[in-house]
Amino acid sequence: MRRVLSVIAGLLIAGLAWEGYKAVGNPEGTVLFGVRVLPRADDLSMPHLATIADRLGAPELAGGRPVWQVVLDACVFTLGITAAGFVAGALIGLVLAVAMQRFRIVERGLLPYVILSQTVPLVALAPLIAGWGGVVMPPWATVAVIAAYLAFFPVAVGMLRGLQSPSASGVELMRSYAAGWWRTLVKLRFPAALPYLFPALRLAGAAAVVGAVVGEISTGTRGGIGRLIIEYSREATSDPAKVYTAMLGAALLGLLVAAAVSLLEVPLMRHRRHVEVVTL
């Protein structure tokens, strides 16, 4: 309940900040040393939140479906791709973390490349992945691969840190019980890694959403919220509130994925108490 109230309070603060800046901000933006440091506060760049809400209820086109329904359908489509990419990326990250914890030579040889992989611009990488997979994979699967590419990194790094977190006394205790590597992993290392795993999964979920949106934009995949943002952006000068409806859908999609990961955290974190007893 406290976490839900924190999210609601954060949204209220963001809304008040938006309307407050629009009320007192410069319509031409704030320029410092020739550089615009704050955005324009006019109706074209920053519509009122009430205007955006009204646009959600209005038809997308004359006689068509309301915008909220179009945005919702696009979010559901992107959510499916995000889920596939998130699961694949999380599994890859877990396997890499276990391998790097088990074999020091794998950690030394692989970890630098895992980090280096995240320095490649996604906008440049997405068309390449689309070209490689266009023959053997449908467009949605290509976007899921892009989402998995962003999702695996925080899981791999966070899980590796968690698997290495048990104290030496805890590891020695497991050895005194004649526990092998696999039993030590299941009974000690994995439960001890849970406090590190779930923050990493939340980051991976957000990264998967970003990857799915950028992948839809870069590959031209239709039906998702990424493509909808591009389509609505073409009407930014005549209907600026319409653009923000798609952006709002993408933001809520990221919050939904993070909330789903948090729901998984509640039952699994109950094991943390037992882990603390073992590692004393």
pLDDT tens, position by position, 23-47: 888 888 777 777 777 888 888 888 8
Mean pLDDT in residue range 229-258: 86
Q: What are phi and psi of 248, to 5 degrees?
A: -65, -40
Tokens of 140: 């949605």
Query: CB under 8 Å to 179, separation ≥6 — which residues?
Result: 187, 188
Query: CB under 8 Å to 24, separation ≥6 — which residues?
Result: 41
Closest among 120, 115, 84 to 100, alpha carbons compared: 115
- Fill in the amino acid letter for 77: F
Residues 29 and 6 in one domain: yes
- Please, are residues 84 and 146 in contact by the beta-carbon 8 Å criterion? no
Q: Distance between CA atoms of 200 and 192, rounded to whole angstroms?
A: 14
Q: Distance between CA atoms of 111 and 216, rounded to whole angstroms?
A: 29
What's the mean pLDDT when you consider all of the chain?
A: 83
- Kindly state whether residue 51 falls inside one of the protein's structural domains: no
pLDDT tens, position by position, 49-68: 888 888 888 887 777 788 88
- Kindly state whether residue 109 falls inside one of the protein's structural domains: yes
Domain that holds residue 20: 1-46
Residues 100 and 20 in one domain: no
Q: How many domains does the chain have?
A: 2
Q: What is the CATH number of the domain that holds 106?
A: 1.10.3720.10
Residues 20 and 85 in one domain: no
Q: How far is CA 237 from CA 43, 44, 234, 242, in A?
A: 10, 7, 8, 10
Residues 40 and 149 in one domain: no
pLDDT of amino acid 269: 63
CB atoms within 10 A of CB 64: 11
Residues 65 and 192 in one domain: yes
